[in-house]
């Protein structure tokens, strides 16, 4: 309790700063295809990707739409992520038919199947809070690896293929002022629980 309290006091009380990295893979994933069955990317909150702002609209619902831009400049060692979330926008590649067989899994860093989904119609929007382990990785490197894999549904009469439109990481961070050794870990053990178990899933 003492270590946690000390770590909290060591963090600057100023308002948290938001950092964001949004990618637009626009990649068609096909289950069982060695070259196109998986997409791998890296969220970089330190340098960003230098991409223009991205506007997300139809067919996604209003709650998943908006214009998003990269906000780089996170500095590991000087800044500390206190919470965050990842979001993915996935769309059926054939808008005229909804076979309902699309299935996928999402891995963050070396944690497989962190998120998964199946049997969606024209779109799938999925967002999840970050647990302690992923916040620690961001605080150490300022980056987070991710991958999206198309999963074969086992039906020989259908092809599981869909488009990964967008992927986004967003965190809230605060400056570190004199945190002693182990302070970051102790603090995240407290605030990371907010992200742990936070999950939001929308499907049509």
Question: What's the confidence (pLDDT) of residue 14?
Answer: 56
With beta carbons less than 8 A apart as the criterion, state whether 92 and 78 touch. no
With 90 as the cut, is the pLDDT of residue 13 above it?
Answer: no
CA distance 3 to 1: 6
- Hey, is 8 helix, strand or coil? helix
CA distance 86 to 100: 24
The average pLDDT across 192-200 equals: 43
Question: What's the confidence (pLDDT) of residue 54?
Answer: 97
Question: What's the confidence (pLDDT) of residue 111?
Answer: 77
pLDDT in tens, 80-127: 999 999 999 999 877 555 555 688 999 999 776 678 777 677 889 999
CA-nearest of 87, 92, 155, 157 to 120 is: 92
Most confident of 8-12, 103-107, 168-172: 168-172
Question: What's the confidence (pLDDT) of residue 121?
Answer: 72
- Beta strand segments in the chain, E: 17-23, 27-30, 38-44, 54-56, 66-68, 79-92, 103-108, 111-118, 123-129, 143-150, 161-175, 199-203
Question: What's the confidence (pLDDT) of residue 154?
Answer: 66
**13 or 81: which leads in pLDDT:** 81
DSSP 71: B
Mean pLDDT, the chain, integer: 80
- Hey, is 193 helix, strand or coil? helix
Here the tokens at position 132 are 């302690």
Reported confidence tier of residue 40, pLDDT bands at 50, 70, 90: very high
Least confident interval from 72-76, 128-132, 180-184: 180-184
The average pLDDT across 49-60 equals: 92
**85 or 181: which leads in pLDDT:** 85
Would the pTM count as exceeding 0.85? no
Query: What percentage of the chain reaches a pLDDT higher than 70?
Result: 72
């Amino acid at each position: 309790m003492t270590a946690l309290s000390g770590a909290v006091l060591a963090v600057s009380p100023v308002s948290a700063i938001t950092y964001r990295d949004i990618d637009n893979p626009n990649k068609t994933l096909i289950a069982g295809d060695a070259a196109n069955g998986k997409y791998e990317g890296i969220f970089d909150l330190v340098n960003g990707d230098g991409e223009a702002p991205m506007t997300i609209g139809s067919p996604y619902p209003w709650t998943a739409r908006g214009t998003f831009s990269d906000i780089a400049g996170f500095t590991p060692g000087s800044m500390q992520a206190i919470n965050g979330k990842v979001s993915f926008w996935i769309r059926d590649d054939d808008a005229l038919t909804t076979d309902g067989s699309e299935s996928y899994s999402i891995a963050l860093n070396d944690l497989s199947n962190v998120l998964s989904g199946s049997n969606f119609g024209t779109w799938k929007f999925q967002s999840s809070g970050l647990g302690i382990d992923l916040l620690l990785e961001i605080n150490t490197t300022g980056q987070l690896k991710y991958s999206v894999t198309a999963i074969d549904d086992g039906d020989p009469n259908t092809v599981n293929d869909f488009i990964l439109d967008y992927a986004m990481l967003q965190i809230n961070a605060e400056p570190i002022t004199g945190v002693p050794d182990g302070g970051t870990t102790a603090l995240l053990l407290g605030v990371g629980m907010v992200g742990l178990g936070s999950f939001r899933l929308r499907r049509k």
